[in-house]
Chains A and B, each alone.
Chain A
Amino acid sequence: MTHEAIDSGIENIGVRPPTADLQHRYKVSIRNLNAWFGMKQALKNISLDIKKNAATAIIGPSGCGKTTLIRCLNRMHEMTPGATAKGSVILDNIDIYDKKVDPVVIKRRIGMVFQKPNPFPTMSIYDNVAAGLKLNGIKDKRLIGDVVRESLEGAALWEEVKNELSKPGLSLSGGQQQRLCIARALAMHPEVILMDEPTSALDPIASSKIEELIHSLKKDLTIITVTHNMQQAARVSDLTAFMYLGELVEYGTTKQIFENPQKDLTERYISGKFG
């Protein structure tokens, strides 16, 4: 799929990029990315452009490499023993796989939300959100307090927890915990947020709250979400990429993928004929 085709699709659904400059339309450009677990190749030569201020969904059957792909985007993949990755992932204008780039610093710019809510078990709600700032050396109490509040508001959790900030993060319900994790990621003021099946452990009501959140967050952020729930991908994303056996099969606007997929494999997967 060419850039122009994707762009025209985007314009149809009203997410017009701010500038016409092609370079600035894409927040992340993946080029020839390969990833392995030991000898087993999990990603095969993936090239993909992620649109700025939009939600991109990655769908595909279990084991197709979609989670591996987003874990490569903040260099989390290589932290698993035996896992390696090769290729380039360009964030704005730097290649995060460049030797000079510190993977720790990259993670401050690209936040991540995981499949199961994983608040820090020994920390209060407040400290969960503040942890990223405090442990990265920020000591200004007033600044931290402001950011905690902003982040909880951004994650639509503030109203529910504002009177119990010192309670443990684990005392919240599953859906609230996941929003706490989103707030924790937001506190770092990332430019991109990766979400790895963020609602798979949640009930439908909590899931729809997360979906609404994704929609409101993309005003300021670029969101990449992996999901095995195709209806969810159809609801929240502007662009959808379909992966199969470690390869990118089809990438296009969500409308096009779900209404008129170009590849037979995509059609069969999204209409539930396999996978």
Chain B
Amino acid sequence: MTRLLDLGIDRIQNIIMDMAKLSEKSVTTAIESYEKGASTKKVIFEWSEQLRVLQDEVGDLAIELIARYQPVATDLRFIRSCMEIAYGFSRFGRYAYDIVDVLETMGSIANCDKSAVLEMSCTVREMIHTSVQALQSKDKNAAEKLYQMDDTVDALYRKYLREAITPYEKTDKRSFDPRCYISALLILRYLERISDHACYIGDSVHYIVTGTSSPRR
């Protein structure tokens, strides 16, 4: 016998996995357009809107399931976490849009040094991937891994920030372009936020599996 609740949980899970794919694609595309200079603002805007709609849908469905089936234990923890995870994925979409928005505003930054952003984006993309994997395989240990990666991201961000406020000491005057620093700083900031949200998703998975909040938080 399938429990009626399971039908709803399956649906919520499907939406969440769709959101995971879409948000991962948005962030990847945004970073690629930073790297290659292509304009993707329109498509990423659409995706982030879609993510927002899906997040609302998850919220509605979760409330409906709670009202109709009074889920308990793992079911309840899963549904509660789905709302948080859906918020996380919709934030991924929003930050992806913010990244391309920065690119649009700044104009050409083709000559800037993009190494810092690209270095951090590697870690962040891996974090998104890890969080989605953790969600799929209900891996309660992913949270720990994610927090380690988050530490790296934070360190990178602080390091670049320090560099940015003391540009004259280190860099060549000729190549100084405020657009490079501002855009890189903003994008690093967004990537740092994404990494935080990836950690929260790891926390939620930990909570679903163990019933306790992850020790880090």
Assess A/B contact in the complex (Cβ within 8 A). yes
Which A residues contact B (CB, under 8 angstroms)?
230-231, 234, 258-261, 266-267, 270-273
CB atoms of A267 and B74 under 8 A apart: yes
Chain B residues with CB under 8 A of A271: 3, 5, 71-75
Check B73 against A258 for contact (C-beta < 8 Å).
yes
Q: Point out the residue from B5, B70, B77 that lies within 8 Å of A260, measured CB to CB.
A: B77
B contact residues around A231 at 8 Å (CB): 70
Please give, as numbers and ranges, the residues of chain B lying within 8 Å of A260 by CB-CB distance.
73, 77, 210-212
**Minimal Cβ-Cβ distance residue in A for B4:** A272
Cβ-defined contact, B77 with A272, below 8 A: no
CB–CB A259/B5 < 8 A: no
Complex interface bits, B72-88 against A, C-beta within 8 A gives 1, otherwise 0 = 11111100000000000
Question: A267 to chain B: which residues have CB within 8 Å?
Answer: 73-74
Interface residues of chain B, those whose CB is within 8 Å of chain A, are 3, 5, 70-77, 210-212
Whether A259 and B3, one on each chain, are in contact in the complex, defined by CB atoms closer than 8 angstroms, is no
Q: Are B3 and A234 in contact (CB under 8 A)?
A: no
Question: Please, how many angstroms separate the alpha-carbon atoms of A217 and B196 in the complex?
Answer: 48
Closest 3 CB pairs of A and B: A260-B211, A258-B72, A267-B73
> B5 — which chain A residues lie within 8 A by C-beta?
271-272
A-B pairs with beta carbons under 8 Å apart, 6 shown:
A258-B73, A261-B73, A266-B73, A267-B73, A270-B72, A271-B5
Cα of A270 to Cα of B211 in the assembled complex, Å: 15
Q: How far is the CB of A275 from chain B (nearest CB, A)?
A: 12
Which of A230, A231, A260, A273 has the most CB atoms of chain B within a 10 A radius of its CB?
A: A260
When the two chains form their complex, are residues A259 and B70 in contact, meaning their CB atoms are under 8 A apart? no
Q: Please, how many angstroms separate the alpha-carbon atoms of A273 and B72 in the complex? A: 11
* Smallest CB gap from A274: residue in B: B1
CB distance from B197 to the nearest CB of A (A): 24
From known contacts A272-B3, A272-B5, A273-B3, infer whether A259 and B71 are also in contact, taking CB-CB under 8 Å.
no
Which residues from chain B contact A273 at a C-beta distance below 8 Å?
3
Nearest Cβ in chain A — how far from B10, in angstroms?
Answer: 15
Given contacts A267-B73, A272-B5, 18 further A-B contacts (CB under 8 A): A230-B72, A231-B70, A234-B70, A234-B72, A258-B73, A258-B76, A259-B72, A259-B211, A260-B73, A260-B77, A260-B210, A260-B212, A266-B73, A267-B74, A271-B5, A271-B73, A271-B74, A272-B3
The complex places the Cα of A260 from the Cα of B209 at a distance, in Å, of: 10
Q: Of all chain A residues, which has the CB nearest B3?
A: A272
The chain A residue with its CB closest to the CB of B76 is A259
B75–A259 touching, CB < 8 Å: no
Minimum CB–CB distance for B105 against chain A, Å = 46
Q: Which residue of B lies closest to A262 (CB)?
A: B211
Report the nearest B residue to A234, measured CB to CB: B72
**Cβ of B75: which chain A residues have Cβ within 8 Å of it?**
271
Closest to B71 in A: A271
Q: How far is the CB of A251 from chain B (nearest CB, A)?
A: 16
